[in-house]
Amino acid sequence: MSDDNLTTAQRLAGDFAPKLADLTDNVLFADVWERPELSQRDRSLVTVSSLVTSGSTEQLVGHLRRAKANGLTEEELAEAIIHLAFYAGWPKAMSAVKVVRTVFADND
């Protein structure tokens, strides 16, 4: 299969941990993300918040793109990060702002 036909999970982990890629594609994104109890927008806000609080800036990039596609604005994400600074810590919030700026600059 060419790289163009691979999912993000398959590109990131498929050669090393194919089961992880499979679970990501078929459980996390095909099942959990599709459950109707939360909107895609709400799931993006929860996910971005979790990634900010854990300092997972590498994963934050893709989820910020998804959050934007799911209707979250730059202003809403900034407000979430301001709020999280008091719960997750200033360094994590400042690191997240750097990532948000880069992602939104790339997508404009």
CATH code, 80: 1.20.1290.10
CA–CA separation, 39 and 16 (whole Å): 32
Structural domain that includes position 30: 1-34
Q: For 22-33, what is each residue's pLDDT tens digit?
A: 999 999 999 999
- Where do we find the tokens 């996910």? 47
On whether both 48 and 76 belong to a single domain, the answer is yes
Query: What tokens appear for 71 in the block?
Result: 């209707």
Q: 52-81, pLDDT tens digit by residue?
A: 999 999 999 999 999 999 999 999 999 999
48 and 22 both lie in a single domain:
no
The pTM of this model reads: 0.88
CA angle 98, 87, 102 (to 5 degrees): 10
Q: Same domain, yes or no, for 104 and 53?
A: yes
Q: In this structure, are 26 and 76 located in the same domain?
A: no
27 exposure class (CB count in 10 Å sphere: 0-12, 13-18, 19+): exposed
Residues 30 and 80 in one domain: no
Q: Is 36 left (phi over 0), alpha (psi -120 to 50) or beta?
A: alpha
Domain count for the chain: 2
Same domain? 60 vs 88: yes
